[in-house]
């Protein structure tokens, strides 16, 4: 998933940060867009940037079955 990470050194936001707070926040630092593996577990998101791809080229299940 393409993700753009933003952060701020201000501690007053708390654990709930939404679009309204993002519009009003000052001194936000934005990173470049990057590709992450994103996993939603319960009430939290986990971002992984060191994931392994099984193949460089996309292939379908039917292509794999016809290869044998």
Are residues 50 and 22 in contact, defined by beta-carbon separation less than 8 angstroms?
A: no
pLDDT of residue 20: 81
Q: What is the pLDDT of residues 40-61, one digit of tens each?
A: 988 888 888 876 666 555 555 5
pLDDT of residue 68: 47
pTM recorded for the entire structure: 0.48
Mean predicted confidence (pLDDT) in 5-29: 78
Are residues 51 and 37 in contact, defined by beta-carbon separation less than 8 angstroms?
A: yes
Q: Given a cut of 70, is residue 66 above it in pLDDT?
A: no
β-strands 2-7, 29-35 pairing: antiparallel
């Amino acid at each position: 998933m393409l993700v753009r990470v933003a952060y701020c050194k201000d501690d007053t936001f708390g654990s709930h940060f939404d679009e309204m707070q993002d519009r009003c926040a000052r001194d936000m630092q934005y990173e470049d867009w990057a590709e992450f593996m994103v996993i939603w577990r319960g009430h939290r998101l986990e971002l992984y940037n060191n994931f392994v791809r099984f193949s460089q080229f996309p292939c379908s299940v039917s292509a794999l079955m016809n290869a044998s």
